[in-house]
Amino acid sequence: MKQEKDPAFVQFTGIEKRFGKVVAVKKMDLKIPEGSLVTLLGPSGCGKTTLLRMLAGLESPTLGDIYIKGKRINDTPIHKRNLGMIFQNYALFPHKTISDNVAFGLKYRNISKAIIQEKVETALETVRLPGVGDRMPSQLSGGQQQRIALARAIVIEPDVLLMDEPLSALDENLREDMRREIDNLQQDLGVTTIFVTHDQREALSMSDKVVVMKDGFIQQQGTPEEVYNNSTNHFVADFLGHSNFLDALVDEKQGDLLGVTLDDKTHCLAVPAGAFNKGDKVEMVIRAQKFILDYRAEYLPEPGENVFFGKIVDRSYMGGEVSYFVELENKLVLHAINFVKRSPYRRGDEVAMKVSQKNCRLLKV
Ligand SMILES: Nc1ncnc2c1ncn2[C@@H]1O[C@H](COP(=O)(O)OP(=O)(O)O)[C@@H](O)[C@H]1O
Ligand SMILES: [Mg+2]
């Protein structure tokens, strides 16, 4: 019988970390499912590294408990936690060979040289760099060195792999390759992985679960689709992708949708992300990619759609996509992103911005 995966393979309960007056992580509860890749996503200073360092044993929590496989590890020393770690400055030992670098975590494990050798070679094959064991780190490129750091982390067969912005020192193209490689490797090995990043595209592209953080708090957690499409607050909607925010007033209920009145007295139907009453002030959020533009003169109303009329005041080509800024009659400027193919519009054009009602979401203010 296949064993059920533990939904709380790693668990933080009421975890808090203070540095003097600074509260880096605030009363946080978080479960990391076995075998999953979970990213901690948030702006610089939100507590991502601190959370990871507490799990690693490099910081001790001010309050709360940390469990791995159900065992409380607050007092377990670093080297007994069986964690693989990779950090931004992958920090290979410059004067040791690649083999010695990779073998580092095995040295104190009481295993024979022959087995160590075998494990090192397997790890190098796993990161697709077989045969480089005798070289020195300086003889490898940045991307290759990062893969060696990965080999060093997985060679010990860790219970959890911790990665703190491991790709931020690499250039964009290489980063994309490495993202895919880490993702594939993680799935092949099935190792529970916590990946820290401030890059939303990185988080959305590789995670089973994204934990969005701000100021030491979890703002929202869920699959990439959930946090992107169903952002539950302004911060998350704003941090992930390009969002438009419009002030609105709730005025009626229509099935699953709510009717709202906007500042310019126009009326829209939208999906409530929460419970609202008539008269509540809300914020309507619309992703830039969800608008479809038409020439205003050619616009035909469709059921289930909201529409905004305005004039294109700015346009920028982004290779594959075009970004438009459209000024409405009340001077509000909305941002739309359309594929180049359906984008003949120029600055000054009068357009209709169509958006499905289900892609208009109402948030608490
Ligand atoms: N050793 C420390 N001493 C004092 N303050 C710290 C220390 N480490 C982190 N902090 C503070 O804790 C907060 C969270 O930091 P950090 O966990 O590094 O955030 P992130 O990794 O999300 O950028 C920041 O305000 C930071 O300045
Ligand atoms: Mg950090």
Assigned domain for 206 exists = yes
Q: Is 25 exposed, middle or buried (0-12, 13-18, 19+ CB in 10 A)?
A: buried
Kindly state whether residues 268 and 292 are assigned to the same domain.
yes
Assigned domain for 52 exists = yes
DSSP H or E run through 228: helix 224-229
Kindly state whether residues 163 and 232 are assigned to the same domain.
yes
Domain C-terminal end among 175, 204, 237: 237
Domain C-terminal end among 179, 205, 237: 237
Kindly state whether residues 289 and 211 are assigned to the same domain.
no
Kindly state whether residues 279 and 168 are assigned to the same domain.
no
- Higher-pLDDT residue of 76, 340: 76
pLDDT in tens, 190-224: 999 999 999 999 999 999 999 999 999 999 999 99
What pLDDT is recorded for position 101? 96
19 lines ligand 1 (CB under 6 A): yes
CATH number for the domain that contains residue 264: 2.40.50.100
Number of domains in the chain: 2
- Domain with 77, as residue range(s), is 10-237
Distance 239 CA to ligand 1 centre (A): 20
CATH number for the domain that contains residue 191: 3.40.50.300
Kindly state whether residues 224 and 272 are assigned to the same domain.
no
Kindly state whether residues 322 and 210 are assigned to the same domain.
no
pLDDT in tens, 278-312: 999 999 999 999 999 999 999 999 999 999 999 99
Distance 213 CA to ligand 1 centre (A): 13
pLDDT in tens, 18-62: 999 999 999 999 999 999 999 999 999 999 999 999 999 999 999
52 lines ligand 1 (CB under 6 A): no
pLDDT in tens, 224-265: 999 999 999 999 999 998 999 999 999 999 999 999 999 989
Assigned domain for 173 exists = yes
Helix (H, G, I), strand (E, B) or coil at 195: strand
Strands 217-222, 63-68: pairing is unpaired
168 lines ligand 1 (CB under 6 A): no
Helix (H, G, I), strand (E, B) or coil at 267: strand
Kindly state whether residues 161 and 306 are assigned to the same domain.
no
Q: The tokens 């890749």 sit on which residue? A: 37
Assigned domain for 5 exists = no
Greatest CA separation found in the chain?
Answer: 78
Kindly state whether residues 253 and 203 are assigned to the same domain.
no
Assigned domain for 229 exists = yes
Distance CA 301, CA 286 (A): 19
Q: Minimum-distance ligand to the CA of 47? A: 1
Of 18, 19, 12, 9, the C-alpha closest to 65 is 12
- Of 22, 59, 199, which is best to mutate to test ligand 1, by the most ligand atoms within 8 angstroms of its C-beta? 22
Give the CA dihedral 55, 56, 58, 61, nearest 10 degrees: 10
Kindly state whether residues 19 and 99 are assigned to the same domain.
yes
Q: Is 39 exposed, middle or buried (0-12, 13-18, 19+ CB in 10 A)?
A: buried
Q: Minimum-distance ligand to the CA of 165? A: 2
Distance 191 CA to ligand 1 centre (A): 27
Residue whose CA lies nearest to ligand 1 atom number 27:
45
Q: Is 341 exposed, middle or buried (0-12, 13-18, 19+ CB in 10 A)?
A: exposed
Distance 99 CA to ligand 2 centre (A): 29
| 10 bridge partner residues | 32, 68
Kindly state whether residues 324 and 343 are assigned to the same domain.
yes
Backbone angles phi, psi at 255, to 5 degrees: 65, -125
Q: Minimum-distance ligand to the CA of 62? A: 1
Assigned domain for 44 exists = yes
Strands 83-87, 257-262: pairing is unpaired
50 lines ligand 1 (CB under 6 A): yes
Residue whose CA lies nearest to ligand 1 atom number 13:
24
**Averaged pLDDT of the chain:** 94
Kindly state whether residues 189 and 285 are assigned to the same domain.
no
Domain C-terminal end among 203, 237, 271: 237
pLDDT in tens, 151-166: 999 999 999 999 999 9
Assigned domain for 295 exists = yes
Kindly state whether residues 14 and 155 are assigned to the same domain.
yes
61-80 average pLDDT score: 96
Contacts 24+ apart (CB under 8 A), 155-158: 155/102, 155/103, 155/105, 155/106, 155/119, 155/120, 155/122, 155/123, 156/82, 156/84, 156/105, 156/106, 156/109, 157/82, 158/82, 158/83, 158/84, 158/191
For every residue of 294-335, DSSP letters joined together read: EEGGG----TTEEEEEEEEEEEEE-SSEEEEEEEETTS-EEE
Q: Is 279 exposed, middle or buried (0-12, 13-18, 19+ CB in 10 A)?
A: exposed
Assigned domain for 4 exists = no
pTM: 0.91
